Structures are given as C-alpha cells and as structure tokens.
Amino acid sequence: MEWRGRRGSNNIEDRRSSGSRGGGGIRLGGVGGFGVLAIVVVSALLGIDPTALLNSLDGTSQSAGPQQPMTAEDKAAGEFVSVVLADTEEVWAATFKSQLGKTYNPATLVLFKGATQSPCGSASGATGPFYCPGDQKVYLDTDFFTTMSRDLGASGDFAMAYVVAHEIGHHVQDELGILARANGLRQQVSQAESNAISVRIELQADCLSGIWARQVQQQFGTIEKGDFEEAVNAARQIGDDTLQRNAGQRPMPHTFTHGTSAQRSTWFLKGLNSGEMQVCDTFSAKQL
C-alpha cells in the first residue's frame, strides 16, 4: 500500500507520549475484530487455557506501568494509521452519500502505549484494538501490529490497514444504528445466542472493510500487488476456529464471537468484490 507522503487524518488522539494511562477493568461494551487476541496468543505460548485467563480478568483492574518512550517505529506506525484513517473518512463520506444519501461523521482514533482509559473500560495490549460506542472512538496500541506479524502470521502493511478498517466498520455500524440495536438484543438472549449475534456484527465489519479496500483502489489507486491477499490472510488468521486450534483447543462453535476463518475471509471478499453496503447484511443472511 502506497501511504508515505499522503494526507493524514486530523481525527487522531495520540496518547502515547502524554502519560494518559490507567486501569479500570476490562472493557465493557466495546466492539472489536481483534478483541482478546493477545490473551489467546500469550496463553498458547504459555500452554494455558485462555478461557481461564479471560475469566480471571473479569471485574479486575489493570495497573499501568511506567510510561514507555516513543520510538521511530512508533512514529512511523502513527503516521501510517493516520493515512489509513484519512482514507476511511473519504471512502465512507463518498459511500454514505452515493449509496445512502446520508452524511458520514468520522470517528476519532486513539493511539496509546501500554494502557489507557475509555468509556468502555481500560484499553490495553490484552484487549487488542476495539471500537467504543460510548465515545465513538477506536482504541489502538500499534504494538499489536507486531503481534499480528510475529505471533499470528498476519504480516504486511495492508493487513495492518485491515485492522483499522475493520474497527472503523464498527463505527459505520454505529452511525447507522445497527450496533445499538444488535447490542441491545444481545442483552436479552442467552450467552450462546449473544455470541451468534456478535459473530454477525463482526462479519459485517469485515464486509465493510472489504468495501473500503475496493474504494481505496478506485479512489486513490494506492493498492500494490499482494495487498488484498494480505488482508484476506489476516482475516483467516484471526478466525475463532484458527485461534482456538492455535491455542491447543478443539474449536467450539458455540463460543465463537467473531466468526471462523472461512467466514471472515468470505465476508471481506463479499465487500471487496461488490462495493455495495446492502451485500453486507449479515443479519439477514441465512448462511454465514
């Protein structure tokens, strides 16, 4: 992806050198395609059950360590994210106008290192990137990109761009009222049914990120050879079934909250191939 020297977004809130950190428990109400990936990866490396680790975090606070210095890699990652965010703003402004006759209100993206606060709870390396409807902000520790490449087998700049685009996909859902309705329904059903709704939320965000990828090529012409393949590979590597297998577990579909590798890559490709928001209606789909 050609990104250097291009326009960045003004909707970046960089907390990496401000000392804005803190605990406050695991996030509640946040939505993300990468949620607890760091926990799963660490659990696999240590040979422990990630479910137990997740349960141990429930309701507890996370302490913040000493502020970490900014590096050249941090600066480059921040610039990259800013350019990707700017692309999402232009793409969704045009798409909302042409397909919905509506105005798109962009999200803010918070960059942090280690931990920071959000209305959805504490953001940290353990939670991974997520979107918080409480303040309509995406929270991202760019160290997660290293985790993707080193531990998840999802490398490449367009794989990183897919992370940002997926979380902005949740903001698109929020703008359209989809997220509030789906999360409201999740509060009224069983855990298994709630998980199934979560899968549809996440797969729709994957499809929306596919629309974004298509429009990046058409509007900006900045896609390079292999970029789309990087995004598809990233979607596959973070499927619930793949993550559970890599953690030494037998995949348990009733616990899935984000979709299988096949589902995530399929819905990304649906958006990429069509460019139409109506194709991303995972809630009406009989087969995911």
In this prediction the pTM is 0.85
**Percentages helix, strand, coil for the chain, rounded to the nearest 5?**
55, 10, 40
35 close to 41: Cβ distance less than 8 angstroms:
no
- Phi, psi dihedral angles at 284 (to 5 degrees): -100, -10
What 69-72 contacts at long range (C-beta under 8 Å, 24+ apart), as own/partner pairs, is 70/16, 70/17, 70/113
In degrees, rounded to 5, the angle at the alpha carbon of residue 205 between the alpha carbons of residues 152 and 166 is 50
Hey, which residues does 123 pair with through a beta bridge?
Answer: 116
38 close to 44: Cβ distance less than 8 angstroms:
no
Helices (H) and strands (E) in the chain — how many of each? Answer: 10, 6
Element containing residue 46 per DSSP (H, E): helix 37-46
178 has pLDDT over 60: yes
Q: pLDDT (tens digit, 9 = 90+) per residue, 50-67? A: 433 343 334 333 444 455
Supply the pLDDT for residue 21.
Answer: 44
Residue found under tokens 């090529």: 217
Supply the pLDDT for residue 181.
Answer: 96
- Give the single-character DSSP code of 287: -
Query: Residue 246 and residue 249: Cα distance in Å, rounded?
Result: 7
Tell me which of 156 and 264 has the higher pLDDT. Answer: 264
Mean pLDDT confidence for 251-261: 94
Q: Among 94, 134, 93, which Cα is nearest to 110's?
A: 134
Query: Residue 102 and residue 284: Cα distance in Å, rounded?
Result: 22
Q: pLDDT (tens digit, 9 = 90+) per residue, 124-155? A: 877 789 999 999 999 999 888 888 888 888 87
CA atoms within 13 A on the CB side of 119: 9
Q: Could you tell me whether strands 12-14 and 108-111 are parallel, antiparallel, or unpaired per DSSP bridges?
A: parallel
Supply the pLDDT for residue 63.
Answer: 41
Residue found under tokens 């989809």: 178
Supply the pLDDT for residue 103.
Answer: 98
To the nearest 10°, report the CA torsion of 191, 195, 201, 202.
150
Q: Among 207, 180, 171, 168, which Cα is nearest to 85's?
A: 168
Maximum CA pair distance of the chain? 51
73 has pLDDT over 90: no
In degrees, rounded to 5, the angle at the alpha carbon of residue 68 between the alpha carbons of residues 64 and 69 is 160
Domains of the chain: 12-280 (3.40.390)
Supply the pLDDT for residue 124.
Answer: 82
* pLDDT confidence bin for 191, thresholds 50/70/90: very high
Supply the pLDDT for residue 284.
Answer: 95
Side chain identity at residue 41, one-letter code: V
Element containing residue 132 per DSSP (H, E): strand 130-132
Side chain identity at residue 145, one-letter code: F
Supply the pLDDT for residue 48.
Answer: 34
Element containing residue 111 per DSSP (H, E): strand 108-111
Mean pLDDT confidence for 242-253: 92
| 3-class SS of residue 15 | coil
Query: Residue 209 and residue 271: Cα distance in Å, rounded?
Result: 7
Residue found under tokens 């995972």: 282
